[in-house]
Structure 1
Amino acid sequence: MNLPVPPAEALIVVDVQSAFVSGDGAVPDAARLVDRTTDLIARARRSGALVVHVQNDGAAGADDEAGTPGWELHHPVQAGPAEVVIRKTKDDGFDGTPLGSLLADAGIRALAVCGVMSEMCVLATARTALALGYRVVLPHDAHATQDIPARPGLGDRVPAATVSRVAEWALGAGVEIPPRAADVTFTALP
């Protein structure tokens, strides 16, 4: 039996950009991820929680190079005081961005994190949030990544689902990992 997940006051949507959820470069089962993130965003908006879309500005030539079609956010943004876009150039959504001050100024204490890539940007952003003392909820079915390809001398291919689960494990006991995004609830900004 799963215990109820206390509500979050903010949703951090990490790098749900066209390059990662559509076309040849999409994460495995991208449709499921898009479904879960769409639902989380809709429920966070309805509750009055803060919604932060984190958008990676990839390097020149990268699939998510700033200004290219792959860089575009997949989900439409309803810009306003309770929904913003923060651009970043590093894995961690807090590193070199106003994310920390935005959350602090809004009085946020608990946040849910979703998006891509599990072992990189999602992990880095969630880890910093934990280190800063936030209650962090990472719904298991609302983050994703790519398979790790086989490499001679290093090992076989590692399926994306395993990589995502290891990323969850790497966050330690401080993170809350409900099995389903549907288990996450939101409350209005404090």
Structure 2
Amino acid sequence: MSSHTSPFHALIVVDVQRAFVRGDGALPEAGRLVDRTGDLIARARAAGALVVHVQNDGPVGSDDEPHSPGWELHHPVEAGAAEVAIRKTHDDAFQETSLEELLTASGVRSLAVCGLMSEMCVQATARTAVALGYRVVLPYDAHATYDIPAEPGISAAVPAGTVSRVAAWPLSRDADVTARAADVTFNAPARATS
């Protein structure tokens, strides 16, 4: 795990949608996740950093099917140029979305990634951000996932915390992986001019 002192210009909040953080289908660590992501959002807003809420469009019949109750974002999006919601249909929030263009237009060169699921959309988005040359931090206590059930002949059940740790591990070579979201700081990006 790394420590860092330089503030980040943007916060990418991946798929923190009602289906995954409320009710019977909630992640095991949903309470912690919404607390940490909510704190990151509040501090990024206060610093003038760009806040991007990523919203997954699941297939018909899924818990996150567009316009279903579970599809709705848990954290409200504040209107304004420094906070937006982007919809996606792939794990990677950069794939077939306007995320890269938005970050470039906003002058963002560093970002924090949080949300769910650790081993899927969070990892894919953070990995692409690194590949695109962004300085990236992944606060360990601000991403989460589900337990992986046992599979006979393959493995016993894998607890969600272990899955999250394994998902973050390969990113630690190229990104900061910090233990606490509270240690991540923000400032406003130098907005790009047209």
TM-score by length of 2: 0.95
Give me the whole-angstrom Cα distance separating, in 2, the residues matched to 1:3 and 1:179.
Answer: 9
Could you list the runs of 5+ residues in structure 1 that have no partner in the other structure?
Answer: none
Tell me the residue number matched to 1:16.
16
CA contact (8 A) 1:5 1:178 kept: no
Q: CA deviation at 1:172?
A: 4.2
Give me the whole-angstrom Cα distance separating, in 1, the residues matched to 2:91 and 2:3.
Answer: 31
Q: Percent identity?
A: 68
Q: Which amino acid aligns with 1:98?
A: S
Equivalence map 1:29-68=2 (5 Å): 29-68=29-68
CA contact (8 A) 2:59 2:65 kept: yes
2:111 match: secondary structure: strand
Tell me the residue number matched to 2:164.
164
Tell me the residue number matched to 2:138.
138
2:136 match: secondary structure: strand
Residue 120 (str. 1) matches residue 120 (str. 2): yes
Tell me the residue number matched to 2:72.
72
Could you list the runs of 5+ residues in structure 2 that have no partner in the other structure?
Answer: none
Give me the whole-angstrom Cα distance separating, in 1, the residues matched to 2:156 and 2:11.
Answer: 35
Give me the whole-angstrom Cα distance separating, in 1, the residues matched to 2:136 and 2:29.
Answer: 24
Q: Which amino acid aligns with 1:149?
A: P
**Could you give the per-residue CA deviations for residues 116-167 of structure 1, whole angstroms, max 9, x where no partner exists?**
0000000000000000000000000000000000011111000000000111
Give me the whole-angstrom Cα distance separating, in 2, the residues matched to 1:65 and 1:181.
Answer: 29
**Could you give the per-residue CA deviations for residues 34-69 of structure 1, whole angstroms, max 9, x where no partner exists?**
000000000000000000000000001111110100
CA contact (8 A) 2:77 2:84 kept: yes
Give me the whole-angstrom Cα distance separating, in 1, the residues matched to 2:3 and 2:174.
Answer: 16
Q: Which amino acid aligns with 1:94?
A: F
